[in-house]
Amino acid sequence: MDSSYKIAIIGGTGRVGKHLAKHAIQQGYYVRMLARNPEKLSYKNEKMDIVKGQIQDINTIRELFKDCNIVINTFGQPAKDDPIYSKVTTTILDVMQDLNINRYIGVSGGSLTIDGDKKSLLNRVGAKLFEVLFPKMMEDKKLEWKILSNNKNIKWTLFRLPFVKDSLTSKSIKVGQTDMPGIKITNQDIATFIIKHLDDPQFIHKSPFISH
């Protein structure tokens, strides 16, 4: 993908998002990042624009996506909050279509189970545990998946993640199409992997698992 492209990043102050801008800029991309509290951003660069605002505000999303070619969404919220993942994703896709942006990358948890999965017993038990402990979140995550999987106009990818560790240590990444190949991954390696595979055709309209 042309490195002169501009990437819109949602969730840039989160565990994964905080590394995305740095890796994107290192690869020559320009970045526009949404931040509710810009002062929390630990990384700043002349090739990065900051848009202050709330993810729920469609006008903020429109401003964020201006002149962008790619959208990366790592938005996260506390499990105790009423989940808004499906609503946020719907708004993002609608604005992308209005602005003729056709590449979207999102992240979800490995507990999300979709048609075609062949999870191990351990991972099936883990997924069921999440459904019991966080029923509203998992219901909303499934709705988010349904919204994405029914969209054929945008080249979307939804990466499913295991437990995420805060670490600068880099390890090789495994990819599984039907089951999680490992139990953890570092936030920096997630960011590196996403930027490296922005336009990899093998992941378009798919939701692969990635882990160490």
* pLDDT tens readout for residues 154-186: 999 999 999 999 887 778 999 999 999 999 999
pLDDT at 1: 60
Per-residue pLDDT, averaged over 145-149, amounts to 97
Q: Which of 14-23, 52-61, 77-86 has the highest mean pLDDT?
A: 52-61
Q: Note whether residue 1 is domain-resident.
A: no
Residue type, 23: H
Domain extent at residue 111: 6-211
- Continuous H helices in 104-163: 121-133, 135-149
pLDDT digits (tens, 9 = 90+) for 91-141: 999 999 999 999 999 999 999 999 999 999 999 999 999 999 999 999 999
Which residue do the tokens 């993002």 mark? 92
Closest CA to 101 of 71, 74, 56: 71
C-alpha pair distances (Å), 168 with each of 2, 55, 186, 188, 192: 27, 28, 7, 6, 11
Provide the domain count of the chain.
Answer: 1
Mean pLDDT (the chain, rounded) = 92
35 phi, psi to nearest 5 deg: -145, 125
Place 206 in a pLDDT band, splitting at 50, 70 and 90. very high
Q: Note whether residue 18 is domain-resident.
A: yes
Of 23-32, 40-49, 97-106, 185-194, give the lowest mean pLDDT range. Answer: 40-49
pLDDT at 194: 96
pLDDT at 4: 67
Question: Which residues sit opposite 5 in a β-bridge?
Answer: none
pLDDT of residue 149 exceeding 70, the answer is yes
What's 56's domain CATH number? 3.40.50.720
Give the pair of three-digit tokens for residue 127: 């997924």
pLDDT at 3: 59
Per-residue pLDDT, averaged over 184-196, amounts to 94
What is the CB neighbour count within 10 angstroms for residue 17?
Answer: 25
pLDDT of residue 18 exceeding 90, the answer is no
pLDDT at 159: 97
pLDDT of residue 2 exceeding 70, the answer is no
Q: How far does Cα 147 stand from its chain's mean position?
A: 15
